[in-house]
Amino acid sequence: MIATVINALAIIAGSAVGLLVGRSIPDRVHDTLLKSLALCVLLIALSGIARVSPTLSSQSMLVILFSLALGAIAGEVIDIDARLQRFGDGIEARLKGRGGRVSEGFVTASLVYCVGAMAIVGALESGLTGNHDTLYAKSVIDGITAIVFTSTLGIGVMLSALSVLLYQGAITLAAGFLKAVLTDRAITEMTAVGSMLILAIALNMLGVTKLKVANLLPGVFLPVLCQAVLFLVGR
């Protein structure tokens, strides 16, 4: 768990710096930076999709399709977006508008930090072998990224440290079991779904769409559930 804790602390530290930097940025420059950040998020999404696309089978495509569809249904039933919005509005009210768009920052940063092989493989290595190198490297990257994200999106990015702590921590603690279900295929499918959600976030930031990305979040975990069912049936 130590590597995951360090990862979360790196995000908090980077966010703290980003908050200080963000206060000195004029509104005109802030808007331009936000659009620039949106393009960077778009690049992250496209890179993730391009990386996994060559390895996706027709079976995996079906899993991704059903994951997005079922995830959307589950997210709409729970209405994750509205819950996060209320949570974010409460924090923004306490900060008197100085915290930025809390829910947007939280969801954006959580997806960027948690989706992808580095978070999953690093957490598995940490739990199974005690090798923390991958998560240490990720901590440095996330800390630097947090500075840029927080300076434009606000304090919601800092809250994503909790997502990283819970997500990577759970994988590390349950690594023995999860190794069987977090196969290369499952990780690839999770990355594909997550990258598509990051793409949706980028389009929202650019003003192209107004998708409720938070309501699609359950879809990221459905490939693992599918793999778990296949693993149990196989046993």
Give the total residue count for the chain: 235
Unique residue bearing structure tokens 């079976």: 59
Q: Domains in the chain: how many in total?
A: 1
Owning domain of residue 224 = 2-234
Separation of alpha carbons 115 and 180, rounded Å: 19
Separation of alpha carbons 78 and 72, rounded Å: 10
Tens-place pLDDT, residues 155-184:
889 999 999 999 999 989 888 878 888 888
Q: What amino acid is encoded at 36 in this protein?
A: S
Cα–Cα distances in angstroms (integers) from residue 24 to residues 28, 30, 105, 132, 151, in the given order: 12, 10, 19, 36, 9
Separation of alpha carbons 152 and 231, rounded Å: 43
Tens-place pLDDT, residues 117-161:
788 888 988 888 888 999 999 999 999 999 988 988 888 899 999
- The two tokens of residue 30 are 């802030």
pTM confidence score = 0.82
Tens-place pLDDT, residues 55-113:
888 888 998 999 999 999 999 999 988 888 888 777 777 766 555 578 888 888 998 89
